[in-house]
Amino acid sequence: MNTPFLKNKSFLYILLFIVMIAIPLITNRYWTDVASTAMFYILLALGLNIIVGYAGLLDLGYSAFFAVGSYTTGILTTQFGVSFWISIFLGAIFATVLGVLIGIPTLRLRSDYLAIVTLGFGEIIRLIANNSKFTGGASGIYGIPKPKIGSFVFQSNVLLYYLMFIFVLLAIFVIWRLGNSRVGRAWKYIREDEDAAEAMGVNGLYYKLLAYGLGAMFGGLAGSLFAVKMSAIAPESFGFMQSAMILLAVVLGGIGRISGVILGAVLVILLPEAMRSFSDWRIFLFGVLLVLTMIFRPNGLWPSKKETEEMDDPEPLKGGSKSVVS
């Protein structure tokens, strides 16, 4: 396959890259914070995009994995003095394991049932966090230390922004390559028609679990970063609204497409900020904008590629090659 990610529009991507690097240098602390929040959302939306966009599994409880990453880092760094780097690693692993465990029974269900089960699962995780001693109950965990390498501490918001930016770049790289591979195609086949995919030799349950586990892993990573960025976490950050906002980011920009998902995540963060002067009206206006988007651009603001007509093979009926003979 050709690689449109590198060839086409490369100018646009380079420009975007420079802007992202420059944001903390040219703006104030407030906008750096907004940009950092956008980074979480990009990471979360990219992860959820594997589940919803690639494999077509509607997950309404994605914030559960976000919570697992956050609490893993929160608990391990404050109570056990574990380094952030080990905690983010473990957070990602716990989230993946949880994703697979919850996936084994639920992924046998068809999509609408799956949505209900994941919705409940998200709430269960939030309630556990709210009512357990080791998670700090309703007040959560505070005083989470900043990550450090040797004696170098990621103390400032700017440094944390760059740390998250690196994770986002890594995520884009990994998820883009996965999407354009045999694994990514298997997900899309399942999304399009599970029975037909199965008939083509795609093991549906295995690939759905893989999508769920990997998506959960990115949720866990984002959670760990969230914990150190905020330095305090509480159960209300991980409720259904959070799951809904992440899902919104995926759907708004252009489901299944990385650039679309990133755009969606940025808009979900930026629009409420930009409309701050409307005070109480902003959420209402945001809602109106969403409804209009869904009416006029049902495939998202930046939908997937258009089809191409190929005329490079004018000889239709003769031919074929021996390589297919089994």
Partner 1 sequence: MSLVEVDEIELRFGGLVAVGDVSFQIEEKNVVGLIGPNGAGKTSMFNMITGFYKPTKGKIIFSGTNIVGKKPSKITQLGMARTFQNIRLFPSLTVRENVMSGMHSKTSQGIWGAVLRTAKQQKEEKEILEIANDCLSFVGIKKYAGRLAKNLPYGIQRRVEIARALATKPKLLLLDEPAAGLNLSERKELIDLILRIKEHFQLTVLLIEHDVGLVSEVADKIVVLDYGRKIAEGLPNEVLANPRVIEAYIGKDDD
**HEC profile for 76-123?**
HHHHCCCCHHHHHHHHHHHHHHHHHHHHHHHCCCCHHHHHHHHHHHHH
**Burial (0-12, 13-18, 19+ Cβ within 10 Å), 182:** exposed
Distances in whole angstroms, Cα of residue 87 to Cα of each of 8, 66, 302: 38, 14, 35
Task: Tell me whether residue 116 or residue 178 sits nearer to partner 1 (CB atom).
Answer: 178
Q: Are 222 and 49 in contact (CB under 8 A)?
A: no
Q: How far apart are CA 3 and CA 115, in angstroms?
A: 34
Output the smallest distance, CB 315 to partner 1, in A.
8
By CB under 8 A, name the binding residues for partner 1: 1, 174, 177-178, 180-186, 188-189, 192-193, 195-204, 210, 214, 304, 307-317, 319-321, 323-326
Q: Distance between CA 316 and CA 90 in Å, rounded?
A: 55
Residue among 143 and 320 whose Cβ is closer to partner 1? 320
Residue placing its CB nearer to partner 1 in the complex, 105 or 314: 314
Smallest separation (angstroms) from partner 1 to the CB of 299: 10
Handedness of CA 256, 258, 259, 261 (dihedral sign): positive
The nearest distance, CB 187 to partner 1, in angstroms, is 11
255 with 53: CB under 8 angstroms? yes
Closer CB to partner 1, 192 or 236, in the complex: 192
Q: Which is nearer to partner 1, 107 or 267 (CB)?
A: 107
From the CB of 176, what's the least distance to partner 1, in Å?
10
| Pick 221 or 245: Cβ nearer partner 1 | 221
State the minimum distance, in angstroms, from the CB of residue 258 to partner 1.
14
C-beta of 308: minimal distance to partner 1 in Å? 4
Residue number, 112 or 307, with CB nearest to partner 1: 307
Question: What is the smallest separation between the CB atom of 173 and partner 1, expressed in angstroms?
Answer: 8
Q: Which is nearer to partner 1, 57 or 230 (CB)?
A: 57
The rounded distance, in Å, linking the Cα atoms of 128 and 148 is: 30
CB under 8 A, 24+ apart: contacts of 162-169 = 162/24, 163/225, 164/36, 164/39, 164/40, 164/43, 164/225, 164/229, 165/20, 165/21, 165/39, 167/39, 167/43, 167/221, 167/222, 167/225, 168/39, 168/42, 168/43, 168/46
Q: What are the start-end ranges of the E strands in 107-220? A: 141-142, 148-149, 152-153
- Least separation in angstroms between residue 65's CB and partner 1 is 18
